[in-house]
Amino acid sequence: MKNIIPAIIVIICIVAGGIGGNFLRTSGGGASAGAEKHGGGEAKSSHGEEAKGGHGASEPAKDSHAKDSHEKDSHGGGGSSGVDYFKFTREFVVPVMRDARVDSLVILNINLEVDSSITSKLFSMEPKIRDNIMTTLIGLSNDGQTLEAISNIDNYESIRASVLMNLQKIIPTGIENVLIVDMAKQEL
């Protein structure tokens, strides 16, 4: 008799948790799936428009790239060759070696600022692009300095420049910039 009441309470809690979890999963998944379907295309175009109008400091750099693409196209569709952002499916985790063992891990969240005409091409090439970026980051890790002091702005710029240079070897046109959104280092 003493064990029946706790067993009933446990069963009620499990059922209530299952119903609550199912309710939250259904409403949360539906909203995010609907947002991805509805806002996916619009977010890219409106984000590019915000970048053009809202960031005065980066506008001259985009103008120079826009002139290059305009010369190639010969039709002045400035809206069709806008800037888009390519986000990778997961972060880059780079081991930092010291004395033939892993000393720490550097985690980087990298996005690419690209011409909107190559966005669909990037999705199909993501494994090759990730491999290229990881090869570059491993090379920087092995130099013993670049990923050691991640708060040094010169190292930060060196990472961006190296990744951009190596990406432009496999995709010669369309990649405007490499954006390091997050960077963290974990000592082991």
Average pLDDT over residues 77-103: 81
User: Across all residues in the chain, what is the average pLDDT?
Assistant: 75
Residue 77, domain extent: 59-187
Task: Read off the pLDDT band of 81 (50, 70, 90).
Answer: low
Q: Are residues 78 and 120 in the same domain?
A: yes
Co-location of 176 and 129 in the same domain? yes
Regarding whether 179 and 87 lie in a shared domain, the answer is: yes
Return the bridge partners of 33, or none.
none
- Cα–Cα distance measured from residue 154 to residue 147, given in angstroms and rounded to the nearest whole number: 11
The reply to whether 82 and 160 lie within a common domain is: yes
Position with higher pLDDT, 7 vs 145: 7
Q: Do 69 and 6 have their domain in common?
A: no
Residue range 111-138: average pLDDT?
A: 91
Q: CB-hemisphere CA count at 13 Å for 97?
A: 10
The count of domains in the chain is 2
The least confident of 8-22, 62-76, 152-166 is 62-76
| The one-letter amino acid at 76 | G
**Mean pLDDT throughout 6-26?**
82
Q: With left for phi above 0 and alpha for psi between -120 and 50, is residue 106 left, alpha or beta?
A: beta
| Tens digits of residue pLDDT in 130-185 | 999 999 999 888 877 777 778 888 888 989 999 999 999 999 889 999 999 999 98
Q: Report whether pLDDT(2) > 60.
A: yes
Please indicate, yes or no, whether residues 8 and 71 belong to a single structural domain of this protein. Answer: no
Q: What is the pLDDT of residue 188?
A: 82
Whether residues 8 and 40 fall in one domain = yes
Task: State the CATH number of the domain containing residue 169.
Answer: 3.30.479
Name the region of 144 (left: φ>0; alpha: ψ -120 to 50; beta: rest). Answer: left
Give per-residue pLDDT as tens, 30-44: 444 444 444 444 444
